[in-house]
Amino acid sequence: MPATKAKTAIKAKAAKAAPAKRPAAPARPVPAKPKTQPKAMSAKVVPAKRVAAQSHKSVTKSGKTPASKKATGAQKALARKTSSAKPVAPAKSATSSKKTSPAQPVAPAKPVTPVAPKQPKPVKILRNIKLKPLAWGLLPTDWRDVCAELDQPSFRARQIWKWLHQRRVMSWDAMSDIPEPLREEMAKRFDISAWTDDTYEQSTDDGVRKLLLGCRDGERIESVIIPARDQATVCISTQAGCAFKCAFCATGKCGFDRNLEAGEIVGQFIAASSVSPRRLTHVVFMGMGEPFANYDNVLKAIRILNDFDGLAIGARRITISTCGVVPGIERLIAENIQVELSVSLHAPDDALRTKLMPVNKQWPLPVLMEACRKYTEKTGRIITFEYTLVEGLNDKPEHADKVIELVRPIRGRVNLIPLSPVKHFRGVAPSPEACIAFGRRLQRGGINVTLRRSKGRSVTAACGQLKLSRVAAIEAASIPRPVIDR
Which active-site residues does the annotation give? 222, 463
Given a contact cutoff of 8 angstroms between Cβ atoms, the answer to whether 299 and 291 are in contact is no
CA–CA separation, 64 and 28 (whole Å): 26
CA–CA separation, 321 and 311 (whole Å): 21
CA–CA separation, 81 and 78 (whole Å): 5
CA–CA separation, 23 and 16 (whole Å): 18
> Which among 434, 408, 405, 430 has a CA at the least distance from the CA of 419?
430
Task: Concatenate the DSSP letters of all residues of 263-318 into one string.
Answer: HHHHHHHHHHHHH-SS---EEEE-SSS-GGGGHHHHHHHHHHHH-TTTT---GGGE
Q: Distance between the two ends of the chain, CA-based, in angstroms? A: 37
Given a contact cutoff of 8 angstroms between Cβ atoms, the answer to whether 383 and 342 are in contact is yes
Residue at 142: amino acid letter: D
Pairing of strands 448-451, 412-418: parallel
Task: Concatenate the DSSP letters of all residues of 344-369 into one string.
Answer: E---SSHHHHHHH-GGGGTS-HHHHH
Given a contact cutoff of 8 angstroms between Cβ atoms, the answer to whether 301 and 267 are in contact is no
Residues of 314-332 as b/e, b for ≥16 C-beta within 10 angstroms?
Answer: eeebbbbbbbbbbebbeeb
Residue at 337: amino acid letter: I
* 224, containing H or E segment: strand 220-227
> Which among 183, 130, 136 has a CA at the least distance from the CA of 164?
136
Residue at 480: amino acid letter: P
